[in-house]
């Protein structure tokens, strides 16, 4: 498995264009199964997880043309449903979380679906209850086979109903929406996830002939239709990549312009980085992070220590907490990072501590960071990337550190960041894939 070799301590300069959004792509590409007509998807990121999902569709007999690297034309007019029971599907889909979202469209269009234990980051328990129980409310029957580890779902007919989700699961909401668009009657989903990627999915489905209202809120109303048709869809820039680049710029004292960020869909993300004291200018639709000697973490109005915690949209995404944490290590001031959703996502801090950061891991969910105020640089070390976002956080730490670092297991980073080494080289970074 490849590694990144990084010589840190260099200031970077230049422009960087964010890739299309990974987590939007996984929803949108699953949705192409809902019609037998052609669906053109643009701004697709060239990353392991998305390419694997496209490969799964191809193996299900979906026709895929790729006229450009970031554009695919899908046509699901001859789907092999039984492929989903094969060992290859079980193995491959176990490598990414997004494969779980094939179930909603399969149930809606082909009346059955099989969900093997999905993959994705090993960042804590990742239950599927919201998905399965919501399908059940629409009339699907399920069976969990302890031998093959598959959920087997069947629904001769899906019927709309009211449902209150037990949590606003992102992939869970996407899955139920995709099942409900072809169900009979009206489905109301309350406590739905409402982040921009779900909004994008709903907009695309409406363009295909679906009837979804309440888009952007936590109450979606879906009037089922008989058939969906083809469409064209353009994906948003990846907000997690944008947040990662803001953090990278601040930590390495660089001057970076992040192009075409689609600011109106970033929610609270820029503000959270500003609370760390990071200056940024919004210029047209770009974010310019200027070189800054020191950034100072703000306190609450009463002088209390800042806490940065995750919360479903429009709260702060859990996927950027590792980045906030690493950036705080060189700030002036202190911050408590509280990762509420996942219980195994903060363990990577032991590597940062080894590099010289001052962090107290209070428990699996909370870490207190005491900023070094740039009095001491981090030291380069050899480390392994445990998950996608921790991996990029370690990469940012390595780029700011004195000396050489080696980051192993970089497949974790390649799962979600397109050509990250060459794009960073263009900003002046010393990074090599070995």
Ligand X SMILES: CC(=O)N[C@H]1[C@@H](OP(=O)(O)OP(=O)(O)OC[C@H]2O[C@@H](n3ccc(=O)[nH]c3=O)[C@H](O)[C@@H]2O)O[C@H](CO)[C@@H](O)[C@@H]1O
Ligand Y SMILES: C=C(OP(=O)(O)O)C(=O)O
Phi, psi of 250 (to 5 degrees): -65, -45
Q: Which of 120, 237, 277, 386 binds ligand Y (CB under 6 A)?
A: 120
CA-to-CA distance for 173 and 270, rounded, in angstroms? 25
Residues making contact with ligand X (CB under 6 A): 23, 26, 97-98, 125-126, 167-172, 312, 317-319, 341-342
Does the protein bind ligand Y through residue 105 (CB under 6 A)?
no
* Beta carbons of 104 and 170 less than 8 angstroms apart: no
Handedness of CA 349, 351, 355, 356 (dihedral sign): positive
Widest Cα–Cα separation across the chain: 66
Q: In what order do the strands lie in the sheet with 382-384?
A: 382-384, 404-408, 4-7, 430-433
| Among positions 62, 269, 388, 420, the unique one binding ligand Y when judged by CB under 6 A | 388
Residue 22 counted as an annotated binding residue: yes
- Minimum CB distance to ligand X, residue 320 (Å): 10
Q: Which of ligand Y, ligand X, none has residue 416 at its interface (CB below 5 to 8 Å by kind)?
A: ligand Y
414 is catalytic: no
Q: Which does 169 bind (CB under 5 to 8 A by kind): ligand Y, ligand X, none?
A: ligand X
Tokens for 216, please give them.
């952007």
Q: Considering the complex, what minimum distance in angstroms separates the CB of residue 42 from ligand X? A: 19
Q: Which is nearer to ligand Y, 231 or 317 (CB)?
A: 317
CA distance 161 to 185: 8
Of 338, 323, 341, 313, residue with least CA distance to 243: 323
- What CA–CA distance (Å, rounded) separates 276 from 268? 13
CA torsion 8→11→17→19, rounded to 10°?
Answer: 20
Give 118 or 371: the residue with its C-beta nearer to ligand Y: 118
Q: Is 433 annotated as a binding residue?
A: no
The one catalytic residue among 49, 121, 310, 414: 121
Q: Which of 92, 97, 233, 423 binds ligand Y (CB under 6 A)?
A: 97
319 counts as binding ligand Y under rule CB under 6 A: yes
Q: Is 227 annotated as a binding residue?
A: no
Question: Annotated binding residues for phosphoenolpyruvate, as ranges?
Answer: 22-23
Instruction: Give the footprint of ligand Y on this chain (CB under 6 A).
Output: 22-23, 49, 97-98, 120-121, 319, 388-389, 416
What residues act catalytically? 121
């Amino acid at each position: 498995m490849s590694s990144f070799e990084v010589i840190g301590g260099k200031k970077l300069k230049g422009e960087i264009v964010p890739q299309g959004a990974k987590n939007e792509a996984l929803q949108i590409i699953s949705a192409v199964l809902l019609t037998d007509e052609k669906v053109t998807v643009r701004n697709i990121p060239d990353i392991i997880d998305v390419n694997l999902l496209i490969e799964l569709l191809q193996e299900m007999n979906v026709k895929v043309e790729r006229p450009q690297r970031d554009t695919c034309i899908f046509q699901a007019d001859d789907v092999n449903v039984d492929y989903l029971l094969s060992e290859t599907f079980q193995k491959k889909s176990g490598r990414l979380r997004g494969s779980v979202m094939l179930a909603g469209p399969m149930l809606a269009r082909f009346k059955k679906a099989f969900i093997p234990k999905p993959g994705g980051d090993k960042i804590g328990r990742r239950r599927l209850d919201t998905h399965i129980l919501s399908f059940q409310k629409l009339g699907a029957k399920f069976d969990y086979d302890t031998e093959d580890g598959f959920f087997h779902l069947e629904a001769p007919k899906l019927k709309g109903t009211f449902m209150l989700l037990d949590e606003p699961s992102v992939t869970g909401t996407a899955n139920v929406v995709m099942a409900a668009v072809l169900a009979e009657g009206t489905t109301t989903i309350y406590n739905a996830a409402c982040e921009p990627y779900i909004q994008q999915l709903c907009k695309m489905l409406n363009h295909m002939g679906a009837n979804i209202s309440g888009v952007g809120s936590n109450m979606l109303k879906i009037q089922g239709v008989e058939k969906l048709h083809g469409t064209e869809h353009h994906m948003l820039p990846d907000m997690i990549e944008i947040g990662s680049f803001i953090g990278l710029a601040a930590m390495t004292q660089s001057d970076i312009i992040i192009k075409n960020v689609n600011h109106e869909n970033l929610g609270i993300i820029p503000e959270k980085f500003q609370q760390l004291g990071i200056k940024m200018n919004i210029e047209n639709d770009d974010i310019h992070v200027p070189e800054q000697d020191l950034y100072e973490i703000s306190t609450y109005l009463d002088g209390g220590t800042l806490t940065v915690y995750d919360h479903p949209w429009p709260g702060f995404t859990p996927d950027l907490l590792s980045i906030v944490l690493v950036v705080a290590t060189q700030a002036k001031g202190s911050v408590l990072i509280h990762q509420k959703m996942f219980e195994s996502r903060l363990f990577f801090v032991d590597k940062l501590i080894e590099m010289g950061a001052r962090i107290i891991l209070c428990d699996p969910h909370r870490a207190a960071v005491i900023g070094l105020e740039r009095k001491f640089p981090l030291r380069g070390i050899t480390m392994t990337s445990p998950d996608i976002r921790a991996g990029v956080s370690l990469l940012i730490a390595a780029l700011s550190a004195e000396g050489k670092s080696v980051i192993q297991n970089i497949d974790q980073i390649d799962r979600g960041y397109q050509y990250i080494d060459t794009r960073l080289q263009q900003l002046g970074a010393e990074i090599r894939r070995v």
